[in-house]
Structure formats: structure tokens, C-alpha cells
Amino acid sequence: MKKALLSGTTKASLRSRFANDLDSRALSFSSSLDIDKTIALHDVRASIAHATMLGACKIITLKDSKQLVQGLKQIETQMLHGEFVWESEFEDVHMLVEHRLTQLVGPVGERLHTARSRNDQTVTATRLWLRECLDFTKAELIEFAKALLDQARLEASTPMPGLTHLQFAQPVTLGHLFLAWFEMCIRDLERLQETRKRVNVMPLGSGALAGVSFPINRKMTAKQLFFSEISENSLDGVSDRDFVIEAVSVAALGMMHLSRICEDIILFSSTPFKFFEVSETFATGSSMMPQKKNPDIAELVRGKSGMVAGNWVALFTLMKAQSLTYNRDNQHDKKSLFEAFEIWNSSLSVCTPMVRLLLFNRERMLHACEQGFLNATDVADYLVTKGLPFRSAYQIAAQLVRECEFKKCTLTELPLEIYKANSELFQQDIYSRISLHGSLNARISYGGTAPVRVKEAIIRAKKRLSQIVKAK
Ligand code: ARG
């Protein structure tokens, strides 16, 4: 019995054709045990499905299959309770689990690896982990989207200056800005859904690369693991990591979006703006300057977004020009994948409450809308509605801005005689048209910032979000 154990699933079993042990430096360099901890449970669950299928297909006896499953379930429990011992002399979790199984159930443990290779095994566990992770991320993103929508509803009519080139451009509503952030978020959700379909494909049964010589039933294994499809080609099955690259590109886009949202939060809560105020519970002080209240959390999210882009580059270049099929390079798929989603999920977990707790200085935003000629386009648009071609109207409006600058007044303060001196088309109603509310209410195009449109958009946004919540 002891001999069988040693000759079977110990690390030595992979070296039977070698006269010497692997150099200890080479072992520690190549081992993925530490990183594999993240997929350990998924790997054990895939083994349970595999062992069950082997029995059902009579590739091993039902008795052996049951013993394997029972041993694997014991290992699963040990892992769940933190009682699983991670011995460092194994190359990866797959070898360690097989070894531990054989210790638990005896030589029958050596039958688990029938009709399977670590090449199809590792990528199956990674897919199982990622599918679960995508579902978790989806839930986090939905919470974030809800926070954005709630703020949009509360601030649907709150005016603020809209910016282009970081210069005040035209008035918008704060609700409209929240809806813009929501649009980014809903696209991230859609991408997650799309990616999930391609992740949910089972490569197990591809063997090392060429398929296996036993009458396995891949669909049976896939069903147990809730995979919706099985991979078509064994060479591709073991060597494809597109799904990892795709998922991390979705995470990189999601983080890029968070970095832009955080940048706006940082900018609008900065001393010169003071439109927003980050809640005390999401702001930090300075070790030296007692008065400081800094938006560090938003800055950290902004900073982390680059790391996820880096993860994507690392993965893309990992696979670029890699010959089919499996190469050990692929072991590096996991670290970048895990890191990217850890960053995205932890960022979402702080962004949601930070957005919910944001405070707004509505008076300052209103005041800012009234400075800087944000209604100059409205002056031109007014003349267009009176029949003037836009380019001529633009020139008249520009001339009026110049006159205001000279007189140090706003367009709403400029007397009607001056308007009339520039164009006979101006009437008293110019003032209501260029008032802040006149300007906002005029932007009634579909997707525009008029509060009436923003309120309609919120209703549509809610429906779209609930469809995504329901979708599998
Ligand atoms: N730990 C490896 C990985 O993550 C799987 C082992 C396959 N190793 C091999 N020599 N074929 O990719």
C-alpha cells in the first residue's frame, strides 16, 4: 500500500522517466500552487464531475467512482473549512489534490486522472472560476448602476455647467451626467453577459491535446458543471485563452470607465470647483495639513485602472504568436486574470457607496451656469428659429458676447436695445429663451439634457437595467 502511494500520485510520479529530481530552484520557480489556491475548489468540483462520468461510462467501476467522489468531497470540505494542507513540493493544485486523494482513499485515487490531462483540467477550472466571478461582478455592477440611477432621479433638474475641453460649454442637468455614467455602466454589463457565453464552454475531454481514447461522455460532465456547451476541437480546447483576454478587456474597459467617473468626482470636488463634496466616510485627511479633506478613494480607483490595462497587455502578449497547443507560458493566465477582477470588484465596492453618499453644492453649480456665457448657443439658436442661417446667427451671438465682455455683464443682463442694434429679429422673448431654464428646457432632442427628457430617460434606463438583471 505504502509503495503504491509513493509510486503513484506523489510528485515523483511525474518524473518516472528522469533519473534525477527537479532542481529545487526550478520547482519553486515553476510551481503555481500559490496562485492555484483561487481555483482549487473549482478544480475539485470538476474532478467530482469527471469521476462520476468515468463511473457512469464504465471506464472505471461504479465502486471506484463512488470512492473517488467521496474522497474528493472530503477534500472539498477541508478546503471550505481552511483545513486543507498546502504542501509546497507540488507543481500545482492538480498534482496536490490527486496526491491527497490517494492518501485518503488509497490506490483507487490513481484512477482519477484516467482520460484527462492537466492541460484540459486547468483551463476547465479557470473557466468555472471565471463564470462565477463574472456573476459576482455583474451583481456589483448592477448595484453601481442602481446608485447612478437613484442619483439621476434625485438630480434630474439640477443645473450644472457641462464641459468640453475642461471649459464651461452649455448648461446640463446633474441627472444627465449621472445617466451618462449609467450608459457606460450598462455597456460594461452587456459586455459581461456576452463574455459569459464564451466562458461557459467546457474544454474537459480534450485530453493533453488530441482528445482521449476512452468512451467518455463529455456532455454528461458538462451538465454536472452547468456548462452550456462543450468545446469543438481538442487542440483549441487546451490552448485557447481568448476567454481570459476577453474578460480582462471587459474589466479594463470597466475600470477605464470608473477612472473617468472618479476623475469627474475629483475635479468637481476640487477647491476651484466645489460642486461636489465627497462624504467624510470616503475622504481622508492630511498628515500635516489639518484642514484637508482629500478624495483619496476616487484617486486610488483612478490609479488602479492602469493596472488592469496592464493585465490585459500581459495576457495579450502572453498568447501572441504562441504555437498550438498548450505551452507552460499559459500558466501565467491566472495571475493577471485574478488581479484584474480583484481590482474591478474592489473598486466597484467602494464606488457604489461613494456615489450614493456624494453631496452637491447646487447653488455653486447654478451660479457657475450663469457665468461664462453658457447660453451663447441659445442666442444663436433663437435667431435661427427667427429665420437666420446658423452661421450668421453664430456671428451675431459672438459679437454680443464681445459686447458683454466689454460691459462686464452677462447675456441676460444685456439691454434689449443692444440686441436689437445687432439684429432686428430680437424681441423681449430672448430673455426667457436664454434664461438658465429656457436653455435647459430647449435641449429636447432624444438623449438631450432637458429635464423632461432626462426623466423619460430614467424610466427607460430602469427598464433596461431590469432586463439585464433578469438575463442569465
Ligand atoms: N499548472 C499548469 C497551468 O496552469 C497546468 C499544468 C500543465 N502542465 C504541463 N506541464 N502540461 O497551466
For residue 434, the tally of other CB atoms under 10 A from its CB is 25
**Which long-range contacts (C-beta less than 8 Å, at least 24 apart) are formed by 402-407?**
404/373
* Beta pairing partners, 171: 161
Instruction: Please report the DSSP string for 193-245 in residue order.
Output: HHHHHHHSEE-TT-TTTT--SS---HHHHHHHTT-SEE-S-HHHHHH--HHHH
The alpha carbon of 218 is separated from its chain's Cα centroid by a whole number of angstroms, namely: 31
State how far the Cα of 153 lies from the Cα of 7, in Å rounded to an integer.
Answer: 68
For residue 41, the tally of other CB atoms under 10 A from its CB is 19
User: What SS3 class is residue 334?
Assistant: helix
Q: For residue 292, what pLDDT is reported?
A: 76
Grid cell, residue 116, equals 484527462
Q: For residue 16, what pLDDT is reported?
A: 81
Cis-peptide into 102, omega within 30 deg: no
Nearest Cα to Cα of residue 204 among 10, 13, 51, 15: 51
Q: What is the pTM of this model?
A: 0.94
State how far the Cα of 426 lies from the Cα of 423, in Å rounded to an integer.
Answer: 6
Q: If you measure from the C-alpha of residue 286 to the centroid of ligand 1, how many angstroms do you get, rounded to a whole number?
A: 48
Q: Which residues are catalytic?
A: 165, 286
pLDDT < 70 regions, the chain: 1-13
Asked if residue 328 has its Cβ within 6 Å of ligand 1, the reply is yes
State how far the Cα of 464 lies from the Cα of 449, in Å rounded to an integer.
Answer: 19
Q: For residue 13, what pLDDT is reported?
A: 66
- Taking the CA of residue 91 as reference, the ligand 1 atom at the shortest distance is 1
Q: For residue 228, what pLDDT is reported?
A: 98
Measuring from atom 4 of ligand 1, which residue has the nearest CA? 331
pLDDT tens digits for range 379-433: 999 999 999 999 999 999 999 999 999 999 999 999 999 999 999 999 999 999 9
Q: For residue 5, what pLDDT is reported?
A: 41
Grid cell, residue 55, equals 463511473
Asked if residue 32 has its Cβ within 6 Å of ligand 1, the reply is yes
Q: For residue 88, what pLDDT is reported?
A: 84
Asked if residue 119 has its Cβ within 6 Å of ligand 1, the reply is yes
- Taking the CA of residue 334 as reference, the ligand 1 atom at the shortest distance is 4
Measuring from atom 10 of ligand 1, which residue has the nearest CA? 328
Pocket test for ligand 1, best of 38, 90, 118, 239 (most atoms within 8 A of CB): 118
User: What SS3 class is residue 345?
Assistant: helix
Burial classification of residue 104, based on how many CB atoms lie within 10 Å of its CB (0-12 exposed, 13-18 middle, 19 or more buried): middle
- Taking the CA of residue 121 as reference, the ligand 1 atom at the shortest distance is 5
